[in-house]
Chain A
Amino acid sequence: MSVSSDYLEHEFKQPSLWQRLGWFDWLWALLAVAGSIYAHVHYAAFMDNYEIGILYGTALTLIWLGWSWKPVRQLSLVICLLSLFAIGLYGEDLARGDTSFFLKYLVSSQSAIMWMSALYVMATFAYFFGMFARSEFSSRVGSALTWSATAMGLTGLMVRWRESYLISHDVGHIPVSNLYEVFILFAVITALMYLYYEGRYRNRQLGGFVLTVISAAVAFLLWYAFARGAHEIQPLVPALQSYWMKLHVPTNFIGYGGFALAAMVAVAYLLVERRPAGWLAGRLPSLEQMDDVMYKAIALGFAFFTVATVLGAMWAAEAWGGYWSWDPKETWALIVWLNYAAWLHLRLTKGWRGRPLAWWSVVGLFITLFAFLGVNMFLSGLHSYGTL
């Protein structure tokens, strides 16, 4: 019997991931590796071994991402081209930002970020209109705008990274070092998570809700830039000059992004749940699906937030001499984490579903918000970088 079963198994075999990869996938992998080797060769002087490790780690992550979520490849290539275009225009002279037309109005970090802001806000309206008017076209426009906004945002960060080095080599650093920069990161990551959901579940009806929180972030960003001149690139205090920043901050914002996504889906859930027969109900995904998305977003957020907090502790051990100091920022990270741990327990062990957990994740967003904004605004501590 076993012989025949082996034979049968062969008959039922499916092509493995490797066999399913197309030429574009391989080209993609090739580009990612080539790019990192180029960066290694040219900029090794600015990196310690950890950072070189991070460089190649990023390449592998990108390859894997691109293979398992195809649109990432096109997105990255667009960002790559735009950034190279900007860097080329700058040459070695930051002042070109004011003279070169394309820099001034398109791809200097500041204008790219302005484009991002505008596009996200437009996307929000497009999605909502698409939902209200049941216009598939408008929703498609929404997606297109969100993709472009994300491309512009990430381009803005890439170019800002270069600009910081153009100011002076010792000022140069990855742009995740203060509130202004991480808000861009937040908008982009949340958008990407939503776009993934959109592709996976083949529906765009939640776009308006998720983009609302992104637009709010954008509004803050603009106020922060114009009222406080926060867009100025500032040099790093010694404590922040570490490879840990490249790991800790982005990981954290994957967590925040997940929590934000969950909260916005929860809002939609609550609206539908209040009037199951209401006109919104017909326009949004089923309650069960929203509940599922909410769980997945929080699970993802929690997993990455756990990693981020651990990384933070390890960094603290290196910079401040203790992995845990009960500093307000640390403590609030713990609070956020415990909060979602409780949420997960209620869902997974008590089998809670629906309304109470939806409310809980909305409240959770405010707790999270306080952890990454309120703490800097109202509380003092070791962690007082990018204070308002």
Chain B
Amino acid sequence: MNLAITLLVVIAIASVIGTVLQQNEPYTNYVRKFGPFWFEVFKSLGLFDIYGATWFLILLGFLLVSTSVCVWRNTPHILRDMRHFRTDVQEKSLRSFHLKAEWETGHNGDEAAARSAALLAARGYRVRQAAQGEHRTVAAMKGAVGRLGYILSHVSIVVICLGGLIDGNLPLKLQEMRGELRAETRDLPASEVPAESTLGTDNLSFRGSISIPEGASSNVVFLQLRDGYLVQELPFGIELEQFRVEHYPTGMPKSFESDLIIHDDELPEPLRQTIRVNHPLIYKGYAIYQSSFGDGGSGLDMRAWSLDLPHQEPLALKSNVNRFLRLTTTRGERTLEFTDFKLYNIFPVEEGDTSGKKFRNYGPSFVFRLRNPAGEAMEYVNYMTPVEVEGRQFFMSGMRATPSEEYRYLYIPADAAGTPQRFMTLLAAAHDETRVRRTVEQQLAGMMGGDAASKEVRSTMIDSISRLLALFVEQGIDGIIKHAEANVPAEQRQEAINSYVNVLQGVLGALYVDMLRDEGVDVAQGVSDADSQFFDDALNTLSMLGAYGSPFYLQLSAFEHIEASGLQIARSPGKDIVYLGCAMLMVGVFMMFYMHQRRVWVYVMPRDGGADMLFAGSGLRNRMDFEREFRALQAELEKAVPPAGAATN
């Protein structure tokens, strides 16, 4: 019994560890967290998968055994105790009871016994009477069934543990120990996973997950095993016909569901069934649950606008999420890895507003990584449709070096047609050296005389200004600042930069005005506010381009949204056993607490003209309640079988 209590406490404490220490993470995480030494220590203690650790299972085993033993030992005498009325109780043992009362009655023995028995029966007691020689014994008890509560609740513990054992991963552990099974840690397609990491359909109990894209199907699931996984084969194929997700205005998913088709040779025709969260499909004892969703490889049609050769037509690209492209760019080899697509991007309008009131949908977006031969990658998220900021339209593109960073956004002004074309044209002009030189020349024209000396100066100025512009276009404002730091003494640097910027604005402005003319705008009476606003935005973007780190801007022109449904598939033959145990436990515990076995005895000793009454009782539990009940019964008895002298009814 002490063992039982100790076990309960020890198991409780052991369980705490697994909640404090994240279980079954990739081992590398643990190494990072605890360092190699403690990692090894913890690993050997099985702390990363405590509830599967041998020592933990042994603890549970002890509980199982000790409970069984305990029930085994207690049951016989409890059952006997339930039936047995103890009519043979001795007078002196009754006298030793804590709850007792004695009086003399005028009724004769038989009458006294009969009246007592009747009263107790009327109060819901089961009554037995016995007469030994002179005296009569009335033995009564109540609530004996409650004792079954103990048996039920404790047997239930055993039942639950056994059911759990069937569903637990003990068989896998054994196979692993025998070296027949190895967790796969590489990221492989199911077909290439070696046999030693694959489980056949004869595996009785497992719980795995699989992500199936719309239109695709699968006949395996992946089981997570410590830092790796196993492939579990299914005796049927699951096809995802369609996946649907609904959102609340907040962008939070409201419901998601999958139209599944089960392909099984044993079925006359494929079985169609829609599953939702909380509404699984049970097929052949395999339970199929809707657990999550993600992108299933959406098709992406893109235009790559070169930022180095902006005069070129954009390059058309085609790919899918979870695929990649190899490109030779103006800056060398690059791989484009497409990692995600989102149909909606719903954000609260004002920062930190979560009241579920003002939300705005930024439309479709896709995420990709641009990786250079050295393996370094920048991550980008580009929004398909122009986003409105202060009444103007921009193409939004976020970039970051590591997932831990916030995105920094580049805003490319969109033209009336909703394309980046106009910005690109300006950029092209800025890239066009001869055109730049011409413009600078026109700007400087009239500034100086026509003599040879000033011609000389002018051409050098043209050179330097053009170089400055090239620098700006290539490296953005940072380039200009670096240039100033390199060539200008600190004290004059700031104004130098300012004057650089003025000059550049002048030149770019002139280029822009040319562009407007080409567009057929009449610039004779000044430039419209809209156009000058566009120029300012374009200038901002230009000054950011240096930091953008990509040789092109990738515009999403069209997409085919393919969703994937995250399914969880479980087979647990032990479940019903566990539920049976749970039912027993619940019933048992209530019986234990709310049905108390209690016994009372009336010991009647006849004497001339009456009898001596001895009333005694014992309650298994709830002493206070029973005492109250006993005293009430006593009062009633003293009325039913009144003391001699007291008026008889």
What is A's interface to B at a CB cutoff of 8 Å? 1, 4-5, 8-9, 11-14, 170-171, 229, 232, 234-235, 237-239, 241-242, 244, 288-289, 292, 296, 299-300, 302-303, 306-307, 310, 313-314, 317-324, 326, 328, 331-332, 334-335, 338-339, 341-342, 345-346, 348-350, 375, 379-380
Contact = CB atoms under 8 A, between A and B. Distances in A.
A97 to B, nearest CB: 14
Nearest to A238: B277
A349 B51 CA distance: 29
Given A12-B119, A310-B586, A345-B8, 13 more contacts: A5-B117, A232-B355, A235-B250, A237-B253, A238-B254, A244-B278, A288-B624, A300-B593, A306-B589, A321-B287, A322-B570, A339-B9, A350-B5
Contacts of A8: 114-115, 118-119
B87 to A, nearest CB: 16
A320 to B, nearest CB: 7
B299 interface: no
Contacts of A288: 624
A321 B289 contact: yes
Contacts of A303: 589-590, 593-594
B122 A12 contact: yes
B410 interface: no
11 contacts: A5-B117, A8-B119, A12-B636, A237-B252, A241-B278, A288-B624, A302-B593, A319-B277, A322-B572, A323-B572, A331-B16
B593 A342 contact: no
Contacts of B569: 321
A181 to B, nearest CB: 16
A299 B593 contact: yes
Nearest to B150: A348
A345 B4 contact: yes
A313 B160 CA distance: 12
A321 B568 contact: yes
B6 to A, nearest CB: 9
Nearest to B209: A321
Interface string B260-279: 00000000000000001111
A265 to B, nearest CB: 14
B570 A12 contact: no
Nearest to A242: B278
Interface string B195-234: 0000000000001000000000000000000000000000
A302 B586 CA distance: 10
A313 B585 CA distance: 14
A292 B622 CA distance: 7
Which range holds the interface residue count of chain B? 35 or more
B11 interface: yes
B570 A306 contact: no
Contacts of A339: 8-9, 12
Given A321-B291, A331-B18, A341 B8 contact: yes
A341 B70 CA distance: 15
Contact of B207 (A235, A321, A345, A350): A321
A302 B8 CA distance: 14
B166 interface: no
A235 B291 contact: no
Interface string B1-17: 11011001101100110
Contact of A238 (B5, B20, B117, B255): B255
Contacts of B622: 292, 296
Contact of A331 (B19, B255, B621): B19
B122 A335 contact: no
Given A321-B289, A324-B164, A342 B585 contact: no
A201 to B, nearest CB: 10
B589 A334 contact: no
Contacts of A313: 578, 582
Nearest to B117: A5
A12 B121 CA distance: 9
Given A241-B255, A321-B280, A338 B9 contact: yes
B624 A239 contact: no
Nearest to A328: B19
A263 B9 CA distance: 19
A167 to B, nearest CB: 8
Interface string B578-592: 110010011001100
Contacts of B586: 306-307, 310
Contacts of B468: none
